[in-house]
Structure 1
Amino acid sequence: MTLTDLHAAPRGGDAPNLTDEEWAELLRVRATDPGAVAAAYAARRRPAPVLSEKDTLFLVAADHPARGALAAGSNSMAMADRRSLLARLVAALEHPEVDGVLGSPDVVEELLLLGALDGKVVIGSMNRGGLDGASWTMDDRFTGYDAASIVRHGLEGGKMLLRIDDRDPSTAGTLEGCADAVTELAALGLLAMVEPLPYHRADDGTLSLLKDTPALARAVAIASGLGTTSAHTWLKMPSCEDPETVFGATTLPCVVLGGVPSPDPAEDLDSWGRALTQPSVRGLVVGRALLYPPDGDVRGAVEAAAKVLHAANPGEAR
């Protein structure tokens, strides 16, 4: 029996779960058949086009662990449980409104081996070197997918993190790395998803994400100009208090970043909804807020987010 056969088996209960058979088979393949990964990439049925028929894009983010960011809510080790993480991702991807995943190579390959990515959009995460909590955390070096591997494996595009701190010289290197990646992906006709986030480092070294309108609009403007062409560039931005101004700073297609979940899921959904109504916004990319909801109901959280996206984008011409 293959992993795909196991994945097709009925599941009981509401909690996302990989059966013992699925988990054992995944571990066996990982240890004994490394060639299965290349075969799974080659066999994946790709979506056409990237945007859904409703002219939207709904992705689940799964690249946090590769940067050492394992916390979700009050659980500092939530994403360290790979079996649970994969089960939650599979459950989210089963929802018909979820178009695909944004992930690091390890997670993408495990989802491929589980048969969860057929017909789904796959965006490869490219720079994970700025480890969460490290002294060099703002040095977002490219340590994951590169443009050559993204095209070789038949992915739809690459995502890069661009944290901007005017007091940190390593930001310049990240700008250069992201510009090169945008250029390389565009030359291959692939989507380049840039996530520009403005940060401030206090005198005591504490880093904080700047959420004010001028800082976010400035980050949008900087990211829009990276590379030799912006023809294939998308932006991934957090929801904010003034989405009209922030998302009005570019003509590039944007997706709303779900970010770290607040204690109130309803508040998150309301915030996303305001951003999703902006003309340049085409969709939603959410990770921990959907995968680790306070009540544990992953399928319910995905359904709620899908309804918010649909309400903001009912399929009408923009």
Structure 2
Amino acid sequence: MKAVTDGDIKAIVETRSSHPERIAAIAAARVQPKGLLGSTGRMLLVATDHSARGALRAGDNPLAMGDRADLLDRLVRALGRPGVDGVLGTADVIEDLLMLGALEGKVVIGSMNRGGLAGTVFEIDDRFTGFDADSIGDFGFQGGKMLFRIDPEDPSTPATMQSCAEAVRALGRRGLMAIVEPFISGRDDDNRLRNDLSTEAVVRSATVAAGLSATSAYTWLKLPVIDNMEAVLAATTLPVVLLGGEVSSDQDAQFAAWSKALSSPKVRGMVVGRSLLYPPNGDVETAVDATVEIM
């Protein structure tokens, strides 16, 4: 049974077109979470900021996340499962979820820089086109997330780095969590931007991200799961959340890798998007429950 009906979508559109002021009122009245860490002692967030960068693929479907009603249905079902603590998303999706009543008592992290559109020549120039620290604080959300890709051959990298540092500083001044997702990146033979997931590259990106801004008191790192996670986690004392990554055809192997990484006390949670929302068998609830179990 669908969690989001045609009537729900109609009501969202009606609110947006006739009473947009209600969205801020719903956010202001929202029940706040009791803390960042949930019943598992860790934080499990569902990520849904991909579409704002034009990244709509999940598995073999290039437009999977392009169907908003279907995406919202999957999100509401995931957020309704025990052990799911909240969501990471852009304003449009978060506002839809607010109107659906799906974010009561949930951790909400606003996605901040979405300007590095997937597949473009300017992808590394990742402008802050989403939330800023003031809007995150004003809406009563718990923090902000930024993508920080370092391309040694792209002169746009320093501008993105400076913008991330300023965002970390602004969030820290408000006492809000700053989740930084760093990568060493580069262009392949087809001129597509790819992330280097070698141990050396992930360690280097983590150490640079940890040093952004005048304080790291509120900074958490969002890091990919690689084979040598011991070396990656040894590189920092900041709290780490694991990046769920792409939808895997071998979900058992993916869960095993997550479980191994979660054995470290430095890992304080997971941020998973497509792997939970678009699992190979289509069963969102089972994928979510399995992830909660390994937490």
**Which TM class, normalised by the smaller chain length?**
over 0.9
Q: State the 1:273 CA deviation.
A: 1.3
2:217 maps to amino acid: A
1:112-191 correspondence runs (5 A): 112-191=98-177
**Maintained 8 Å contact 1:261/1:268:** no
**Maintained 8 Å contact 2:245/2:274:** yes
Which 4+ stretches in 1 moved above 6 angstroms? none
Q: State the 1:295 CA deviation.
A: 1.0
Stretches of structure 2 that go unaligned for 5 or more consecutive residues are none
Partner SS, residue 115 of structure 1: coil
Q: State the 1:17 CA deviation.
A: 4.1
Are residues 1:237 and 2:237 paired? no
Q: What is the RMSD of the two structures over their aligned residues, measured on CA atoms? A: 1.1
1:1-318 correspondence runs (5 A): 13=1, 16-202=2-188, 204-309=190-295
Partner SS, residue 230 of structure 1: coil
In structure 2, the residue matched to 1:6 is none
For 1:264-312, what per-residue CA distance to the aligned partner results, in whole angstroms no more than 9, with x for missing partners?
1112111111211122111111000100111110011101111111xxx
Q: Using the alignment, how far apart are the partners of 1:139 and 1:133 within structure 2?
A: 12
Stretches of structure 1 that go unaligned for 5 or more consecutive residues are 1-12, 310-318
Identity, % of aligned pairs?
52
Q: Using the alignment, how far apart are the partners of 1:261 and 1:169 within structure 2?
A: 32
Q: Using the alignment, how far apart are the partners of 1:195 and 1:298 within structure 2?
A: 25
Q: Using the alignment, how far apart are the partners of 1:261 and 1:250 within structure 2?
A: 27
Q: Using the alignment, how far apart are the partners of 1:202 and 1:49 within structure 2?
A: 42
Give the stretch that moved more between structures: 175-184 or 16-25: 16-25
1:150 maps to amino acid: I
Q: Using the alignment, how far apart are the partners of 2:275 and 2:60 within structure 1?
A: 12
For 1:150-179, what per-residue CA distance to the aligned partner results, in whole angstroms no more than 9, with x for missing partners?
111110000000011111111111110000
Q: Using the alignment, how far apart are the partners of 2:199 and 2:265 within structure 1?
A: 17
Distance verdict in 2 for CA 1:203–1:24, change over 3 Å:
closer
Task: Normalising by structure 2, report the TM-score.
Answer: 0.97
Give the stretch that moved more between structures: 67-76 or 25-34: 25-34
Q: State the 1:203 CA deviation.
A: 5.2
Q: Using the alignment, how far apart are the partners of 1:20 and 1:62 within structure 2?
A: 21
**Maintained 8 Å contact 2:119/2:193:** no
Task: Normalising by structure 1, report the TM-score.
Answer: 0.91
**Maintained 8 Å contact 1:126/1:160:** yes
Q: Using the alignment, how far apart are the partners of 2:123 and 2:260 within structure 1?
A: 31
Partner SS, residue 122 of structure 2: coil
The count of aligned residue pairs is 295
1:48 maps to amino acid: K
Q: State the 1:139 CA deviation.
A: 1.1
Q: Using the alignment, how far apart are the partners of 2:7 and 2:91 within structure 1?
A: 23
